Amino acid sequence: MSSTPIAVFDSGLGGLSVVRHLRQILPREDLVYFGDTARVPYGIKSRPTVAQFALETAGFLLSFEPKLIVAACNTASALAMDDLRRELPVPVIGVVEPGARAAVRLAEGDPLAVIGTEATIGSEAYRRAIRALAPEQPVVPKACPLFVPLVEEGRDCNDPIVKLTVETYLAPLRAQHVKVVVLGCTHYPLLRDAIGSYLGPEVHIVDSGRETSLAVRQHLREHGGLSTDGTPGSMRCYVSDNPQRFEQVGSRFLTEAIEYVELVEPERYVNVPRLPSTAK
């Protein structure tokens, strides 16, 4: 198992912010990434649709015989994790639970906030995960739907439109004196500086991608799955649409050039038969 890759999927580009942390924390691991760019965004779709798309993208990744799959998509982690863990023959780690654990630890009982897409916030997945760890923990949810298009347009943290949007969405959180804010969308780390500047240095910002990468490392250590190869791991990216844009914009998420991107035709991931699931 140590020689097989870690597979990662997202509805589009955002999951590359998780891959960035995986490459830093687990530099010897081979990574295979699938971005479902033809069907992005997942954040405005229904739970059954998200579950279907997540199972199809993960099904495509099974062809690489991964030792583990990371659902690097907050919407899929919020709405489809039970389906993924029930149907897939390999362990699946999402971004919600690791982010919730870090938030509870840092909040120490003070109010914490979760910001994300409408679907992620509406699912209450973070609230449930947090309350499972700390039943009395105050949680303030806030949907910030314009953050994703701002990031994908290439607007940075110094852009006046970004600053105004951050202020508009996060003013209620600052008024409630939250101690921790969870970035509940993989696009949001690219706006971290603007978010942190507005909320102030006393507010802890939790990047669920980093926490997820630490959870992946812990899981592989516990199950003897860490790569024993002494060379740097490889990375291959696959997309369901527009590989040129993915390569260009995705490098901003990854903070390095993307060297391998392949377009995947629908027949390779839509309704792909999956291997029988096993108890995990």
**What is the pLDDT at residue 154?**
85
CA gap 51, 46 in Å, rounded? 9
Tell me the average pLDDT across 119-132. 92
Neighbours of 104 (CB within 10 A): 22
The reported pTM is 0.90
Q: Are 12 and 241 in contact (CB under 8 A)?
A: no
Residue entry with tokens 């955002």: 14
The residues carrying an active-site annotation are: 73, 185
**What is the pLDDT at residue 112?**
97
CA gap 131, 250 in Å, rounded? 34
Relative to beta strand 6-10, strand 68-71 is parallel
pLDDT above 80 (res 274): no
**What is the pLDDT at residue 272?**
58
Domains of the chain: 6-94+210-268 (3.40.50.1860), 96-208 (3.40.50.1860)
Residue entry with tokens 């969308």: 185
How far the first Cα of the chain sits from its last, in Å, is: 15
**What is the pLDDT at residue 1?**
62
> 52-107, pLDDT tens digit by residue?
999 999 999 999 999 999 999 988 998 999 999 999 999 999 999 999 999 999 99
Tell me the pLDDT of the chain averaged across its residues: 92
Q: How many residues does the chain have?
A: 280
CA gap 229, 251 in Å, rounded? 26
Nearest Cα residue to 93 out of 223, 272, 276: 223
CA gap 8, 61 in Å, rounded? 8
Listed in order, strand segments (DSSP E) in the chain are: 6-10, 31-35, 68-71, 92-94, 112-116, 139-143, 180-184, 204-207, 235-239, 261-263
> 184-203, pLDDT tens digit by residue?
999 999 999 999 999 999 99
> 217-266, pLDDT tens digit by residue?
999 999 999 999 889 999 999 999 999 999 988 988 888 889 899 999 99
Nearest Cα residue to 114 out of 163, 176, 200, 55: 176
pLDDT above 90 (res 37): yes
